[in-house]
Amino acid sequence: MELQSAIYNEWRHVFKLDPEREISDERLDAICMSGTDAIIVGGSSGVTFDNTVDLMSRIRRYEVPCALEVSNEEAAVPGFDHYFIPLVLNTDKAEWLAGRQIQALRKFGAFIPWENTSAEGYLILNEEAQAAKLTGARAALDSETVAAHIYMADRLMHLPVIYMEYSGKFGDMELVKRALRLVTGARLFYGGGIDDAAKARQAAAAAHTVIVGNVIYDDLEAALSTVEAVLAVELPK
């Protein structure tokens, strides 16, 4: 049902907006009109029903597709084009793999638009990231262990999306390229530390989908420069 037809399979460049952070109408206009393929709304902390509804309704003035990455059950807001449910693969704390998600499914299971909802297998690879600290992720993984996680997520679990997450730090592109060579069905998302066009190009050569977050709030012009940079690079494999 999902894999080939899911909207995110067309996405090369995505901006991630955090409901916890302020963004002016002018900046939001620039992001939504930038030519990016989509916007993901998500954050690892401080995401509430109210700040998510508020951001969604502002983005909805534009045509750009908009997905919600649901990071807690209070922030499950109807009206998005797509929903991503993160499962952290490299943690020993089962609550972040299939604990909190199960609790949320007990509540929302019957109301979930399943055709527009996908699991995201997260590999959190920056020890300093807020998401790593929150979930107790074992972020310092060698190449063989990353490969083993990719086999598990792609070949055993058949997850539709694998997200190599370096939030706040530019990652090891050789590791990402190796993961790309290993995936057979999953879409490989990369995010973390992209703050200029050169890094965006490197990431676009290493992953199917490139996600740009924090630089939106730090340097809007640099953020906007990543769109053309990514879209100019041919899709790997």
Ligand X SMILES: CC(C)=CCC/C(C)=C/CC/C(C)=C/CC/C(C)=C/CC/C(C)=C/CC/C(C)=C/CC/C(C)=C/COP(=O)(O)OP(=O)(O)O
Alpha helices in 156-236 (DSSP H): 173-182, 197-204, 215-218, 220-231
Report the distance separating Cα 84 and Cα 86, nearest Å. 6
| By CB under 6 A, residue 215 contacts ligand X | no
Min CB(208)–ligand 1GP separation in Å: 14
Cα dist. 118→104, 112, 180, 198 in Å?
Answer: 14, 11, 19, 30
Of 191, 204, 226, 229, the one binding ligand 1GP (CB under 6 A) is 191
- Lookup: tokens for 18: 């955090």
Min CB(28)–ligand X separation in Å: 16
Of 213, 226, 227, 230, the one binding Mg ion (CB under 5 A) is 213
Binding mask 28-57 for Mg ion (x = CB under 5 A): ------------------------------
> Smallest Cα–Cα separation from 150: which of 163, 137, 140, 139?
163
Binding mask 17-56 for ligand X (x = CB under 6 A): -x-----------------------xxxx-----------
| By CB under 6 A, residue 136 contacts ligand 1GP | no
The residue whose two tokens read 């990514």 is: 230
The residue whose two tokens read 């009206």 is: 79
The residue whose two tokens read 């090369």 is: 12
CA 201 to chain centre: 18
- Lookup: tokens for 180: 């790309």
| By CB under 6 A, residue 175 contacts ligand 1GP | no
Report the distance separating Cα 211 and Cα 209, nearest Å. 7
Angle between helices 220-231 and 197-204 (to 10 degrees): 30
**CB neighbours (10 Å) of residue 62?**
14
CA 111 to chain centre: 23
| By CB under 5 A, residue 214 contacts Mg ion | yes
Q: Tell whether 165 is in a known binding site.
A: yes
| By CB under 6 A, residue 129 contacts ligand X | yes
Min CB(213)–ligand 1GP separation in Å: 3
Measured from the CB atom, the residue of 168 and 236 that comes closer to ligand X is 168
- Which residue ranges make up the site for Mg ion (CB under 5 A)? 213-214
Known binding site: residues?
16, 18, 44, 163-168, 193, 213-214
- Which residue ranges make up the site for ligand X (CB under 6 A)? 18, 42-45, 69-73, 76, 78, 83, 85-86, 88, 96, 100-101, 104-105, 108, 111-112, 117, 122, 129-131, 134-135, 165, 167-168, 213-214
